Amino acid sequence: MLQKLSKSTTDRALFGVCGGIAESLGISPLIVRTIFFVTVGFSIYLYIFLAAVLRDK
């Protein structure tokens, strides 16, 4: 079951966005970071937006 989306306070590389997405989906943060890396053109804007909008846990 999906949890409420928020930034991770324990699994942070930069702002905790990928860690928070991974925690809410129940998957490894490495998978989320890999997806962000592969789609770097679009994901930079998405990451900055999510870092600004999401709250810390």
What percent of the chain has pLDDT above 70? 95
- Beta-bridged to residue 7, according to DSSP, are 56
Global pTM reads: 0.80
CA 48 to chain CA centroid, nearest Å: 10
Average pLDDT over residues 20-45: 91
| pLDDT value of position 2 | 55
Q: Which residues contact 51 (CB under 8 A, 6 or more apart)?
A: 7, 14, 15, 17
